[in-house]
Amino acid sequence: MAIALCVGEPAGIGPELVVKAAQRPWTRPLVALGDPDLLLQTAERLQMPLQLLEENAQQSLEAPGTLRLRSIRLPRPAVAGTLDPQNSAAMVACIDGASEGCLNGRYAAMVTAPVHKAAI
C-alpha cells in the first residue's frame, strides 16, 4: 500500500521536498497529492529528473526520479515565497484527500510537507 505525500504550501519548501523525495528508492510507493505543473517546474528549477505516473500505475515500485501522482491542480500558478490565498483550497484538498485515503484504506500513511496555517 502506498504512502500519501502532500505537497503542502505551494509557495513554500514543500514542492522541493517532494521532488527530492522522488530521487531516492523507497520500500513502498509514494503518491504525491498536488499540482503536476508545479512539481515538474520545481524539478526543472532544481535540475532533477522527475517522471510523473498516474496514481494507479501498474508498477510495484518506481525508479528514482519517478513519482505517482494524484493530481490536484492549483487555480493559479504558485510563486515561491509569495502566498496566494486562491491556492489555499487546493492545499486543503490535498490534505483532505490524503487523510480520507488513509481512513478508507487507499493509503497506508500520509506525510504532509509544511503548510502555512495563515493561508488556510
CATH code of the domain containing 72: 3.40.718.10
- Residue 58 pLDDT: 74
Burial of 52 (0-12, 13-18, 19+ CB in 10 A): middle
**Residue 40: band (very low, low, confident or very high) from pLDDT cuts 50, 70, 90:** very high
Judge contact between 89 and 120, C-beta under 8 A.
no
- Bridge partners of 48? none
Burial of 99 (0-12, 13-18, 19+ CB in 10 A): middle
- Residue 60 pLDDT: 61
Average pLDDT for 69-82: 96
pLDDT at 61 exceeding the cut of 70: no
**Residue 75: band (very low, low, confident or very high) from pLDDT cuts 50, 70, 90:** very high
- Residue 117 pLDDT: 84
Residue 62 DSSP class = P
Domain count, the chain: 1
Whole-number percent of the chain with pLDDT over 90:
84
Q: How far apart are CA 12 and CA 85, in angstroms?
A: 13
Q: What is the pTM of this model?
A: 0.93
